[in-house]
Structure 1
Amino acid sequence: MKTVLITGTSRGIGRETALAFGRAGHKVFASMRNPEKAADFKQQIKDESLSVHLYKMDVDRDESVKHCIDSITKEHGLIDILVNNAGIERHGSVEEMPMAEFKAVMETNYFGAIRCIKAVLPAMRKNKNGFIINVSSMAGKIVLSPLGTYSASKFALEAITEALAQDLKPYNIRVSLVEPGIINTEMAFGISKNDESFYPQARRIGHFWVESLKSAVPPSLVADKILEVAESRSWQLRYPVGPDAEPFWNWRSSMNDEQWVDWNAQSDEDWYNAVESTFGLNCRPEKMEKEK
């Protein structure tokens, strides 16, 4: 049995990961900003008699992270595994995205993970034991406008995780990235909402997400992979998750940078035709209107 701290567990991947570890017999500390709003989660934990304990933590705040982790270690002992899952998504063109949104996404998705890492590392390093799993995204390797703000935070997380793995291997501390593709979560459905924009990519990607989510896999698939990685002895750094993750990366890798920019800068008609021929998805706006 391991002691596991998971951030961002109020819904989606984080919640399913907490349940997966609990069902596997581990002691889980499931953190979120507002545990008082998680009555249904608490009931599920009770119904299944799981060793899952809810803690209040806002990864955006130094004092909140310190207080939560200090409380856990004082009450339960050292943390064996940290799963950095807390994250937010904002989408829009670079011109139209408010500076506050750029900062908010980096604060949670990047600096939030670093805060938690720095809080658990002294004990892990001293004991020469531990595992840090950062939940990234295929958006941490592939940039699609209007997801640049989100991708920037995940690219940063990927980079710091690669550096962290080099720091910590001499101390026997494993580090991994889990990179989900398109997953059926509330966050993903947020991308499908089309906002007014000067730029056509916002509208087009919204249509693409609506169609893709019809066959998207559930967040439990990612949770099961995180559990599998945690229980393995592998030092593998990256784990793409989902049926579209590796194929999408391979497709991106088949183009040079200029071809990739051109593919995403096509006219509407050419772009929708390219999506249908490449992915077999008809996400044209007229089809979306008929299905409303």
Structure 2
Amino acid sequence: MKTAIITGTSKGIGMETALAFARAGYKVFAAMRNPDGATALKEIIQKESLPIVIIQMDVDSDESVRQSFNVIYQESGTVDVLVNNAGTERHGSIEELGLADFRAVMETNYFGVLRCIKAVIPQMRTSQSGCIINISSVAGQIANSPLSAYSASKFALESMSEALAQELKPFNIRVMIVQPGIINTEMAHKVKAEKGSSYPQVNRFGSLFEASLKNPVPPSLVAEKILEIANGQSWQLRHPVGPDASPFLGWRASLTDEQWIDFNAVDDEDWFNSVQNTFGLDVRQIS
């Protein structure tokens, strides 16, 4: 039986990924910061008798990651797949968002992934096999206000992943980046239209999320893609997921940097018109 470690599994994409891998025959170590909050996952594990072991792991902590991986290796011996899904988000203008928020996002989304990667590489390198899947976002290639802290962490994650893929390919270890669009998760619902900022982007970009979530894309769609990547043989680095992911990325790629800045710097009415003309989303009423 192959073994997978998946971080951030108490809900959303992480929980659905743990379930998908277990149902596909993997032994899954479902890592999360607070196992007491994983009521839904525990109920499904029991109901379906799934081979999932819930393990406490705080990816922000060197010691927690070290101890957790020691337990996993003692029980399993080897790890075939690592899915780095644990993540957090803070949003706001750069002026108004605190430095502590920037640090917290980078600590989890970038350094947390690095901790887990460093814990698994030696064994995978010895085994000459393995798959590391890092969950990024379209925000890993598209910088938007008010998601600057989140985007910065995902840009860093994608840059590191690209370099890591070069290092590990000679050892037959695949490194993949998954880039979800707007998915129906608790994190996405927190990006809402908010009044009171000095910067209009904070309010209207939240409206874009709210409009998109009226036609919700389930996190299980991302989980299915992650499982497909793990079970496949492809060395493709980046994998956009969701109906809006490739259109968003293609749209950004079609614009120069200066055009992108100008698009996001215009007044509300011009921005609303551009979003509606490009994506068919009317976000005025939400704002």
User: For 1:27-77, what per-residue CA distance to the aligned partner results, in whole angstroms no more than 9, with x for missing partners?
Assistant: 000000010221221111110111011000000000000000100110121
Identify the match of residue 286 of structure 2 among 285, 288, 292. 288
Partner Cα distance (1:141, 1:216) in 2 = 22
Cα–Cα, structure 1 residues 32 and 193, in superposed 2: closer, same or farther, change >3 Å? farther
| Aligned-pair Cα RMSD in Å | 1.0
Q: Which residue of 2 aligns with 1:179?
A: 179
Partner Cα distance (2:22, 2:236) in 1 = 24
Partner Cα distance (1:107, 1:238) in 2 = 23
User: For 1:109-152, what per-residue CA distance to the aligned partner results, in whole angstroms no more than 9, with x for missing partners?
Assistant: 00000000000111111111111000000000011110111000
8 Å contact from structure 2 (residues 138, 180) kept in 1: yes
User: For 1:151-210, what per-residue CA distance to the aligned partner results, in whole angstroms no more than 9, with x for missing partners?
Assistant: 000000000000000000111111100110110110000012525211000000111111
Q: Find the residue that maps to 2:124 and give its secondary structure.
A: helix
Q: Find the residue that maps to 1:240 and give its secondary structure.
A: strand
Q: Which amino acid aligns with 1:97?
A: L
Q: Find the residue that maps to 1:131 and give its secondary structure.
A: strand
Q: Which amino acid aligns with 1:135?
A: I
Count, aligned residues: 287
Q: Find the residue that maps to 2:40 and give its secondary structure.
A: helix
Alignment of structure 1 residues 188-199 onto 2, 5 Å: 188-199=188-199
Q: Which residue of 1 aligns with 2:273?
A: 273
Q: Find the residue that maps to 1:188 and give its secondary structure.
A: helix
**Percentage of pairs with the same residue:** 62
Partner Cα distance (1:211, 1:148) in 2 = 21
Alignment of structure 1 residues 215-254 onto 2, 5 Å: 215-254=215-254
Q: Which amino acid aligns with 1:47?
A: K
Alignment of structure 1 residues 1-292 onto 2, 5 Å: 1-284=1-284, 287-288=285-286
8 Å contact from structure 2 (residues 11, 38) kept in 1: no
1:254 Cα deviation after fit? 1.1
Q: Which amino acid aligns with 2:48?
A: E
Runs of 4+ aligned residues of structure 1 deviating over 6 Å after TM superposition are none
Give the alignment's TM-score, normalised by structure 1. Answer: 0.96
Q: Find the residue that maps to 1:214 and give its secondary structure.
A: coil
8 Å contact from structure 2 (residues 193, 204) kept in 1: no
Q: Which amino acid aligns with 1:288?
A: I
What residue ranges of structure 1 are gaps of 5+ in the alignment? none
1:252 Cα deviation after fit? 0.9
Give the alignment's TM-score, normalised by structure 2. Answer: 0.98
Partner Cα distance (2:253, 2:233) in 1 = 29
User: For 1:90-112, what per-residue CA distance to the aligned partner results, in whole angstroms no more than 9, with x for missing partners?
Assistant: 11111111000000000000000
Q: Which amino acid aligns with 1:158?
A: E
